[in-house]
Each structure stands twice: as C-alpha cells, then as structure tokens.
Amino acid sequence: MIPPTLYIATRFIVSRKRSLILSMLGVVCGVGFFICTQAQTQGFEKYFIQSVLGTSGAVVISDRFQPRYTQFSGTSSADMVASSGQNARKYYEGITDPYRLMRVARSFSNVLGAAPIIRGSVSIASSFQSEVLRLEGIDMRYHLGATALREQIISGSIDGFGAQPSAIILGWMLADKLQVRVGDNVTVTAPTGTRTFKVVALSRSGINIIDETRGYINLGVAQSLLGKPSSASVITLRLRDPGRAPELAAHLERLFSHRARSWQERERGNLALFSTLKISAGITVSLIILLAGFGIFNVLTLTVLEKLREIAILRSMGYRRWDISAIFLWQGLIIATFGSLFGCGLGALLTFLVSLIPINLRGVIFATHFVVDWNVYHYLYGSAIAFVAVLVATFFPAQRAATVPPVDILRGSGQ
C-alpha cells in the first residue's frame, strides 16, 4: 500500500513536473559523467598496473645488504648501544644463490612464480642505427611463470628460446628505432666484448619506457657477456594477490637480508599521478550534481510557497510536522532514485562509446583506444553522491514546510 505522504509527494511533483525534470537532468548528467570519467582514469591506471606486474613483477628482490651499526659512547662500556636502519646499510651487488631464494619464496601461499634476471646496460646496433639497450638475461623456464612475457609477444616466437644462445627478444619500439624485424641480426657491445644476436621475437609490454629500451637474452649468456660475478641481479615474483605485495616484500627483506621492493613502492610516483587525476575528475564532475542540487532546492522552495494552503489543510486534517517534511523528502528521494538510475544508464552508454574512440597514445603507456574499467563501485559512488546532494537540497525546504503555521494561513493572514 502506498503511504499517503508518498501519494501526495507524487501529486506535488506532477504539478511542477517541468521544473523538476530539468533539475533531474542535472542529476542524470552528473552521475553519467562521473561514471564515465572514473571509468577512464581507473581504466588507464589498471592497464598501467597490469603492464607493470606483467613485466617487472609484484615484488623484486635485489642486492644483499648488511646493516651498519653506529655506536654511541656513554660513561662506560655498558652504555654502548647499536642502531641500524634502512639508510644504514652496506649493499653487495647481485644475488649469489637465486634458486635457493626462489625455492623459499615459492613456499609462501601468495607467490605464484619466481624468476631470476641478470641486468645490465649495453649498446645495440643494427645496419642502420645504434641505441642503448637495457639487457635482461632470463631463464625462460621460470620467467614465463613470473611474468606475462608470452602474452606480450606480438611478432615471432619464443619457443626454443632457451636452446638458442644467440637469440634475443627486443621491445617493439626499440626494434622500430633500429629498423629490424624478426630474423634480423643485431650487434651487442658489452664490457666483455661484442656479440651478434638474432632477433627471434618482438614484445610489447604497454609501457613505452620499457618497450623502447629493453631486450632479453638467455641468463647464462648474459652473465658471461656482462661479466657479472653473481648468478642474478634480481628475482622477480608474481603474486596471487598483488595488493599484499608491500607486506610480503618487508617480510622477505627481513628473511633474506636482500632488498625487496613491492610494485607499489617502485611505482609510487605514477600511482600518485593516477590517483590525483581520478580525484580531480571526480570533484569536477561532482560539481554538476551539486549544481543540480541547487536547482532542486529552488524548485522545492517555490513548491512550498505555492502549496502553503494545501500544507495548512493537511496540518488541520491531523498531519504532523514530520508527515509534511516526509512529503518533500519523498520528492527528493524520487528525484534521486530516478536520476541515479537514468544516470547509471547514461554512464554505461558513455563508457561504451568512449571505449570505441581511437587514440594514438605514446606517453607513459601505449594505447590505441581509450581504456575503460567497468567497475560497479563507480555506479555506487556516483549514485551515493547524487542521493546525498539531492537529499541535502531537499532537507531545508522540507523543514520550512513543516513549520508552516496552518491557522494563520487558513485565516488568510500569513504567507
């Protein structure tokens, strides 16, 4: 059964339906634009995070360290104390026994894969040009389980890579600079000498700074070519829950006495940038809903002034002040409900249309279309903002309506 206050509220809305529809359109547009902008900003953020996790791993274990202790002299030898911290460490380059550390790391339930990597900077040249190459020596047996390298291959094949000492995988942007394709030869100049490699595949991580500088060769070949005494420069870990990477990194650092960094720590600057853009877009679009709230406030205030006699009659019939307030709060609830529903529909439509827009993004990340994130929380947050703005805008006219003096109005002496 429909409450009487709700029935009266709908009649009041119908009497000023044009004004309220225009106000509701503000809510619809505000919710729709909020959903669309959040889908874009979070879409690019998630795409960047997935690229980072697929290329560099959720946790990276690197150089061994030894704490440096500082002694403070007191009045006696018993007063000698030692302190150590993150900045008071002596680092030793590389990892001497990576496979032992990998076995221990894989014993954690959150770790899905671990892979050793040897890193170094060399010069790479083709028949046309030379570039600086950030070379990574990998053990393909483990690397495919710890990264998304197989999914990143856009040309060529990595099958049999481990059995080809002269095989190299290049980032597609670096290959474009060198003007080489799969099957071409390149020359790599390192501290120990020069060696020729055959390009067997091209990769695209989605992060331009990686795609224009990185190349992969076999781990043992890289160790010999770079003259590295250690068996690995880093160990990269793939996690079941990347969100828990900071806690695991801190634990592994204490356990191994090797530096361990989570992807959140490594990409703090870029993540802060995406977060700022998301907040900025949310605030900007929320202003549309706020302006719509002002419109609803004005409409309901005028409704109160126009319906003074009707309100006085309702009070004389036994309706309490709360009942009169409920009539106008129901109006706000109806506007917020339908405005949010239509706004969510508009947001979904705009998000879909935006995802079809072609772009040529070559900045921090590579993208050919707008990347969007279909997240139910965007719809919930947008609707919540609309409900808060509309109900706040409705509250004051509702309070005024509740304080209307029925006797004076019925006598025709008060407005």
Domain annotation covers residue 245:
no
* Nearest to 123, CA basis, from 164, 161, 174, 62: 174
CA 159-118-217 angle, to 5 degrees, is: 30
**Same domain, residue pair 35 and 162:** no
Domain count across the chain = 2
d(CA 388, CA 394): 10
The pTM assigned to this predicted structure is 0.73
The pLDDT value recorded for residue 363 is 61
**Same domain, residue pair 302 and 351:** yes
Structure tokens at 351: 């998000």
**Same domain, residue pair 227 and 280:** no
Domain annotation covers residue 222:
yes
Distance of CA 175 to the CA centre of its chain: 29
d(CA 329, CA 325): 6
Residue 296: domain span: 4-53+270-410
pLDDT along the chain (415 residues), means of 10: 76 73 83 90 87 90 79 45 55 89 95 95 91 94 93 92 92 94 94 93 90 94 90 94 94 93 90 83 78 75 70 72 80 87 94 88 72 91 88 80 65 50
**Same domain, residue pair 297 and 348:** yes
Domain annotation covers residue 255:
no
Domain annotation covers residue 281:
yes
Domain annotation covers residue 69:
no
Domain annotation covers residue 251:
no
d(CA 159, CA 155): 12
Burial of 410 (0-12, 13-18, 19+ CB in 10 A): middle
Structure tokens at 398: 């509702």
The pLDDT value recorded for residue 99 is 93
Domain annotation covers residue 240:
no
The pLDDT value recorded for residue 322 is 78
The pLDDT value recorded for residue 89 is 78
**Same domain, residue pair 274 and 406:** yes
The pLDDT value recorded for residue 307 is 66
